[in-house]
Structure 1
Amino acid sequence: MNTLISIIVPVYKVEDLLARCVESLLAQTYKELEIILVDDGSPDNSGKICEEYAKRDGRVKVIHKANGGLSDARNAGMPHAKGSYITFLDSDDWVHETYIETLYNLLKSTDADIAACNFLRTSSENVSLPAATERIFEFSNEEALEQIIAFGEFHEQMVVAWGKLYKSELFEGIRYPVGRIHEDEFTTYKLIYRAKKISFTTKALLYYWQREDSIMGTGFKLKNKLDHLEAWRERAVFFHTEGKEAFSDKSYRSLFTESLATILTLDEMEDTAGRKAVLEKLEAGRNDLRGSGKWKIKLMYDCTLLFPGIVIGAYKTFKKIKK
């Protein structure tokens, strides 16, 4: 095993957690690594800790940049990645010592372009691999996309950026959207669509730190939801452009139902500005549909935009009955 693998780790305000992340990478059973720590303008001692690791182990490289967010940090690391394969790890998470070796062997043995693993959410550092029997799945790109778009059994494992080993060439012309939350939703489907095969192991080799102040752990935020809706709209347009109408239709339907569910939440909060912003996302989706043959989907959008009170009221009643 002498193939170089690049690991890109965005770093921001994690001085108390960074050592756990980096130590787990240095302890990998697969040794041919370059560990790219991207200090995203962190105001604490994270940047200094990165430099200390670079002095300690020649495989560690450090990039210091102005704060630009998670996507910008990942993007900044990619031009420096020399490996044939790339993986990402968030700096508050850590991995099992066999993480890289397992994914690399899985990718090679199944002739896949992406290898993915399961993960374990935890708020405790005292974790170990679950005793469950390992299962291996081999997906075509469309089967993996179905997991994402139709919310299959492995939706979450497929949609996230981390927990995967990618062939580096998949990223040619693809970068993460700067300033967006749910950056995975904007990007991962494009990489999977470009791949021929995606292999997945049910081994939980990545430990996802569930802290209360994380981006995704702070309750309802309108910007987060609007970015999520925009990701689905872009995905719908992407697959329509690629001639994959089934995926495009499902994405437009997801955008529609999630928009209505979000409006119900905003109505409870009496957030009229937020309600208007979500309806604008629906209108943008409706504009995308102009000239297409998706008349059933267009009708759903048209009715909602023309008679929002009636449609949203009916949806609210439907949700109550369903409960």
Structure 2
Amino acid sequence: MNKVVSIVVPIYRVEKYLRRCLQSILQQTYKQLEIILVDDGSPDDCGKMAEEFARKDNRIKVFHKENGGLSDARNYGMKYVTGDYTIFVDSDDWLAANMVEQMMNVSEEYQADIVQTAFYYAYDEYLLFDNRYYAKDDYPIVLDQTLMCELVKNEKVKNFAWGKLYKTSIIRNIPFRKGVLFEDVFWAHTVMHKVNKLVLLTQPLYYYFQRSDSIVATYTPRNLDILKGLKERHQFIETFYKELVNESYRVILETSLIHYNLLLLNRKQDLDGKYKREIWKYINKNYQNLKMAVESEHSLRNQLTLFTIHPSLNIGYLFLKKILRKFYIVPRPIGLEKVDYRAKSDF
């Protein structure tokens, strides 16, 4: 197999993690790689480190640009992609040595437009694997007609851009939205709309690093961009996938309630209550549609009813459920599988 895989790595303030990421790419058993490193105006030594790696391996191309954010850096890198396939890797994450080879094998065998690999949530001392939807030793899961439904659910098919092998021709002219967090939510459905077949590789081969200073670890009102993305996607769903409208409403409701509570926990981020009011107004305006969407989900239906009466009632309901779970009066939610770090990672 001599098809070239382009790996695009946006780089910004990851000096502590970059070497691990790049070493994991260079150690791939699949050798036909084009490695595009985009230094997004990083103020530390990331740019120098990237150049250092490029001097040692001619598959690496380094580009330096003014800071424009993750989306802008990915878009910039895509301009220089020449490979048949493209993978996005975040620069604080890393890959199993056989990830690209495994994904290419699956892509060829199933003639897939996209291959998504399972992944680990990687912490400093341990790994977590989400085993709620499939096991690590399951056969590859082929999705075609149900693909958009799975994306909206965000269970098997994730909205993340990383961890997927794309046919470059599919994503070439679909840029990422600049200036937003959770840019993948604005992007993924437009990609999947063009896809005939996605294959899910159930073996976790991507390590998604969880660090305390990442943009998803510290809450600010910018995190509400995810709601903007979900609502924008909902309009798309209403146009092209009417059968998924209820599922889309369900996801918006669930995410809205989570962010309302996060704003309560971070009161300094919403001193005048502006953002909480926006969430409350949306839920009340769309109450009937949301109610229909969660008719068969007891817990979420109760949360919706209580929230529309008064948000504090929903907080009390969730607190009560937490207490009951503590004393095993109601079932605890299924947790993620904890994996020994040293047994699974070479980095």
TM interval, shorter chain, is 0.7 to 0.9
* 1:138 is aligned to 2:136: no
Distance 1:277 1:217, change over 3 A: closer
Match of 2:20 in 1: 20
Deviations 1:92-129 (A, max 9, x none): 111111111110111110111000111112234998x9
Distance 1:285 1:80, change over 3 A: farther
- Structure 1 residue runs of 5 or longer lacking an equivalent are 301-307
**Shift in Å, 1:169:** 1.6
Match of 1:312 in 2: 311
Match of 1:223 in 2: 222
**Shift in Å, 1:148:** 3.1
Tell me the distance in 2 between the aligned counterparts of 1:221 and 1:76: 27
Distance 1:284 1:38, change over 3 A: farther
- Structure 2 residue runs of 5 or longer lacking an equivalent are 130-134, 294-306, 323-347
Tell me the distance in 1 between the aligned counterparts of 2:126 and 2:275: 43
**Shift in Å, 1:40:** 0.4
* 1:296 is aligned to 2:299: no
Distance 1:321 1:126, change over 3 A: closer
**Shift in Å, 1:222:** 2.3
TM-score by length of 1: 0.83
**Shift in Å, 1:164:** 0.6
Length, aligned pairs only? 303
Match of 2:37 in 1: 37
Distance 1:4 1:125, change over 3 A: farther
Match of 2:189 in 1: 189
Tell me the distance in 1 between the aligned counterparts of 2:125 and 2:192: 31
**Shift in Å, 1:318:** 4.6
Distance 1:22 1:240, change over 3 A: same
Tell me the distance in 1 between the aligned counterparts of 2:149 and 2:52: 43
For residue 79 of structure 2, give the secondary structure of its aligned residue in structure 1: helix
Distance 1:298 1:274, change over 3 A: farther
Distance 1:284 1:268, change over 3 A: closer
**Shift in Å, 1:217:** 2.4
CA contact (8 A) 1:235 1:248 kept: no
1:133 is aligned with what amino acid? D
* 1:93 is aligned to 2:93: yes
**1:233 paired residue among 224, 231, 234:** 231
Report the more deviating stretch, 38-47 or 261-270: 261-270
Match of 1:280 in 2: 278
Tell me the distance in 1 between the aligned counterparts of 2:266 and 2:43: 34
Match of 2:169 in 1: 169
Distance 1:319 1:62, change over 3 A: same
What is the correspondence of 1:27-66 to structure 2 with a 5 Å cutoff? 27-66=27-66
Over the aligned positions, Cα root-mean-square deviation in angstroms equals 3.0
Report the more deviating stretch, 56-65 or 311-320: 311-320
**Shift in Å, 1:268:** 5.2
Deviations 1:141-191 (A, max 9, x none): x42332332343x25xx2211111001122143111112111121212221
Tell me the distance in 1 between the aligned counterparts of 2:261 and 2:228: 18
Between the aligned residues of both structures, percent identity stands at 37
2:150 is aligned with what amino acid? Q
Distance 1:274 1:261, change over 3 A: farther
**Shift in Å, 1:270:** 4.5
Tell me the distance in 2 between the aligned counterparts of 1:254 and 1:126: 29
For residue 36 of structure 1, give the secondary structure of its aligned residue in structure 2: strand
* 1:250 is aligned to 2:260: no
Tell me the distance in 1 between the aligned counterparts of 2:88 and 2:260: 34
Tell me the distance in 2 between the aligned counterparts of 1:138 and 1:30: 23
Tell me the distance in 2 between the aligned counterparts of 1:260 and 1:9: 33
For residue 150 of structure 2, give the secondary structure of its aligned residue in structure 1: helix
Tell me the distance in 2 between the aligned counterparts of 1:315 and 1:90: 36
Tell me the distance in 1 between the aligned counterparts of 2:143 and 2:71: 27
* 1:149 is aligned to 2:131: no
Report the more deviating stretch, 206-215 or 68-77: 206-215
